[in-house]
Amino acid sequence: MTALLKTQGLSMAFGPVQVLCDIDLDVRPGEVHAIIGENGAGKSTLMRLLSGHIRPTAGTLEFDGRPATFAGPADAEAAGIVLVHQEILLAEALSVAENLFLGREITRQGLVDDGAMNRIAAAKLKEIGCHASPKALVKQLSLADRQLVQIARALLVPHRLVIFDEPTAVLTGDEVTTLFGIIRQLQQQGIAIAYISHRLSEVEELADRITVLRDGQMIGTYEASSLTQADMARLMVGRDLSTLYPPRIETAAAGVPILEVEHATVPGFVADVSFSLQPGEILGFAGMIGAGRTELFEGLLGLRPGRAEALRLNGKALRLHHPSEAIAAGIAYLTEDRKGKGLLLRQRLAPNLTLTALSWLVPGWFLDGKREKAALKTAIEAFDIRVRNPDALAGQLSGGNQQKLLLAKVLMSDPALVIIDEPTRGIDIGNKSQIYGFIQQLVRQGKGCIVISSEMQELIGLCSRILVMRGGRISGELCGEAMTEANVAMLATGVAAEAIDEPATQRPRQTAQRHGMQGRAMQAG
Amino acid sequence: MAMTTTSGAERLRPTISLTTAGPFLALAVLVAIGFLMNPDFLSASNVLNVVTRSSFTAIIAVGATFVISTGGLDLSVGSMAAFVTGIMILFMNMLAGDLGTGAIVAGMGAVLIAGALCGLLNGTIVTLGKIEPFIVTLGTMGIFRALITYMADGGTIPIDRSLRDAYRPVYFGDVAGIPIPILVSLAVAIIASIVLYKTKFGRRCAAVGANEDVARYSGISVRTIRTTAFVIQGLCVGIAAICYVPRLGAATPTTGMLWELQVITAVVIGGTPLRGGSGRIWGTVCGAIILETIGNLMVLSDVVSEYLVAAVQGVIIIIAMLIQRLSK
């Protein structure tokens, strides 16, 4: 079959940084072509190239047998390439129909024709199985419905190639099934589909062919039937996954828990959550976006309104109303939003590094430039922050180096407990591996460590125990052999509990009971 | 994704950027133009006159640099200056009988306290009420203005005759030939630059202004920092009032009218970004002098009518902003 879309030597560089190199991709009509790769592998850049959002720095693009250059997304849309964005890009205050037709309103004698737009919108929404009313405001819709509205908007124009960029990130089980139905329907109509995801089970289920990207390079295109999920993972990561994570630490004998939380509530996000962190363990928090993981800890640390009946750090009861109290008590929190809440991008490295710990670093009112410089030098060495000029601005560092700087920053106050939210979001594999090493080093030093992550592999590889949250509650606890992607996903989405993998039986009975699944999961599901 | 390049870090950035040097270059150009148009412009008496007159704007604008660097804005400074001046004069007049000239010292204390309290009021409403500083200070601007009008009963609050001569040197006196208002504004600027550049508080001001969330997540009390910046602004208004009283001899409902615009203009043409995140004390002082120089130039020359002073200042602020934008 001839390709609908073909690229040759497609490359993209931002300044001197090559983010995509020599991509030879071909997508055929009527196939689902999955594009997989780790965060930072270049998937989204490739999609933005194909859909005309950015222009390649080298290489050619052929659409329907003719060379094509797109001046912008509108150009690509006119040719029949539509992109369903990963983030929800809708105007919340407008209605569903108004969003569908935003920028391409139907008019009658110069006035917008709401009647026609609502009719067409209703038909389109029905077609893709979305039950939202065309007149409903987008801000009233659930995340899943918004995603469907976004898909409807993309499909409203005549299309021959539809690109889905991680469409299932905000969807739950049933909604994923609906989406797959839409995709298969498109496929039967002979539409070509490019499907980007790092959820390998979805890829295995949907894809006809799979292209693997790693660090901006194209590893190859494979028939989906020839790859198992393990093969895909190996191709994506480029080495055996086991070497990515440091060897596990055996959990020390139970002593006083480092952290105990009883009945924590964060209005609107978290209802009645209790857990504890034992010395020597890395505790993971898994769950879908919106499950309340970040909000739980922000509530506990005084970053947003919330309360817990009891919060004990190393046996000492705490009441935290402001993040400064949490820091003073010895709890550090590394935010998931590195650029928005973690670092001052327009400031130099040293002020960023010492911002939290100024009170400890130097007594009195005045700054101490020498000591700050020394602290920066120590941090650069200890955390292997790659920067040629220590006077650089934080925003000039790569994502991985920013993350290491942020980690160094939150550790400046020498906390007893570190909560790390998305430790490796958007950073490359080398830096990931290093950060995992740092996290484990912390635990070896006797600090408590909690990791929140949306990457299941990461939690499974790193943590001694995983708590899964769903809808603001803990829906289950996994440890030992029960920590599998399937189990985490089921607890996170609340799909059929009986399908959960059995915990390993070779463990001593006592451990197997204490570890493994706990009953709450079933009730929540 | 490695969207941000590392190359910027490797390129050596020029140590003096256009934004930093801009206001000083602009002032140099203005001075050169002034000298060419009228050599008297550079006479010692004229230079001292211009700088003395700019002192009030400079002192208040130094305070505004703190507020703006934390991401705030204070529109109430002009009305506040009138209000606290009124309080000061009433207070001094009340004590003049008992304390004699000692009443002046008491009045100075009172005006500083009054200024700090006004700033505290602004800051508290902004931070506790979570209302935009623009709106809050628009409100207090009206309140302070109404209060001084009410206190003066629509007329003036003159300083007591017995105090007038004793107080006169604060504006008209000099030390080694340099007028006292200049010395005061210099001292304010030096202290302010130490506070803003060399203390933890100054660092935190910049952090709060650059990104409130980052500051909060770093354990900084955003409320305390922002409120303190407003209090500093109030103190600066108090200091300016102390210097200003002898020149006016009275507080009136029109005292300090439109000063807020002069002050914000000085801060902005001094190179402090209005969105916050950094402050340039010496740029602000330079900005205040630029504004006064323009007015002075237009009076000395007959090229442009002096009724157009505000228009020229308006053009200058827009040009300054364009230069900042283009030099990025």
In chain B, which residue's Cα lies nearest the Cα of A362? Answer: B200
Domain at B40-326: CATH code: 1.10.3470
In DSSP notation, B118-165 reads HHHHHHHHHHHHT--HHHHHHHHHHHHHHHHHHHTTTS-EEPPHHHHH
Residue A480 Rama label (left phi>0; alpha psi -120 to 50; beta): left
Domains and CATH numbers, chain A: 5-243 (3.40.50.300), 344-413 (no CATH)
Count of A–B CB contacts within 8 Å? 124
Which region, left, alpha or beta, applies to residue A514 given φ > 0 means left and ψ of -120 to 50 means alpha?
alpha
Residues of chain A with C-beta less than 8 angstroms from the C-beta of B219: 322-324, 326-328, 356, 413
Task: Report, as an integer, the average pLDDT of B70-98.
Answer: 93
d(CA A48, CA A381) in angstroms, rounded, equals 36
From the CB of residue B198, how many other CB atoms can be counted at a distance below 10 Å? Answer: 15
Angle CA(B19)–CA(B20)–CA(B25) in degrees, nearest 5? 90
Q: What is the pTM of this model?
A: 0.78
In chain B, residues 220-249 whose CB comes closer than 8 Å to chain A: 220-221
Q: What is the pLDDT of residue B328?
A: 56
The closest of B290, B272, B269 to B281, measured between CA atoms, is B272
Instruction: State whether the Cα torsion B252-B253-B254-B255 is positive or negative.
Output: positive
Strand partners, A193: A32, A162
Residues of B in contact with A40 (CB under 8 A): 1-2
- Residue B74's pLDDT is 95
A443: closest CA among A288, A308, A281? A281
Average confidence (pLDDT) over B212-221? 94
Comparing A221-235, A449-463, B40-54, which segment has the lowest mean pLDDT? A221-235
Decide if pLDDT at A508 tops 60.
no
d(Cα A303, Cα A295) in Å, to the nearest integer? Answer: 9
The 10s digit of each residue's pLDDT in A169-223 is: 767 667 788 888 889 988 998 999 999 887 778 888 899 999 998 878 888 899 9
Residue A520 has pLDDT above 60, yes or no: no
Per the CB < 8 Å rule, is A367 touching B203? Answer: yes
Partner B contacted by A333 (CB < 8 A): yes
Q: What is the 3-state secondary structure (H, E, C) of A416-456?
A: CEEEEECCCCCCCHHHHHHHHHHHHHHHHCCCEEEEECCCH
Rounded to an integer, the average pLDDT of A425-444 is: 85
A323 neighbors A317 (Cβ within 8 angstroms):
no
Closest CA to A486 of A506, A504, A460: A460
Kindly provide the b/e burial profile for residues A332-368, where b requires at least 16 CB atoms within 10 angstroms of the residue's own CB.
Answer: bbbbbebbebbbbbebbbbbbbbbbbbbebbeeeebb
pLDDT-wise least confident of A245-254, B21-30, B124-133, B192-201 = A245-254
Q: Which member of A326, A366, A388 has the closest CB to residue B199?
A: A366
Chain A residues with beta carbon closer than 8 angstroms to that of B221: 322, 324
Beta strand residue intervals within B53-142, DSSP E: none
SS3 category, A135: coil
Region B16-24 average pLDDT: 72
**DSSP 3-state assignment of A261?**
strand
AA identity, residue B187: A
**Residue with structure tokens 């200091």?**
B239
Nearest-angstrom CA–CA distance, A69 and A81: 12
Mean pLDDT of A276-284: 91
* B259 pLDDT higher than 70: yes
Averaged pLDDT, A341-362? 90
d(CA B191, CA A27): 67
**A contact residues 211-250, partner B, Cβ 8 Å cutoff:** none
Note whether B2 contacts A343, CB cutoff 8 Å: no
Neighbour tally for B208: CB within 10 Å: 27
DSSP state of B15: S
Q: How far is A57 from chain B (nearest CA, A)?
A: 14
Residue A232 pLDDT: 84
pLDDT bucket at A501, cuts 50 / 70 / 90: very low
Nearest to B88 by CA among B48, B117, B59: B117
Question: Could you tell me which of A137, A94, A130, A126 has the C-alpha nearest to residue A112?
Answer: A94
The DSSP code sequence of B156-200 is: -EEPPHHHHHHHTHHHH-EETTEEHHHHHHHHHHHHHHHHHHHBH
Indicate whether B210 pLDDT > 80: yes
CA B43, CA B290: separation in Å to the nearest integer?
Answer: 17
Q: Is the pLDDT of residue A329 over 90?
A: yes
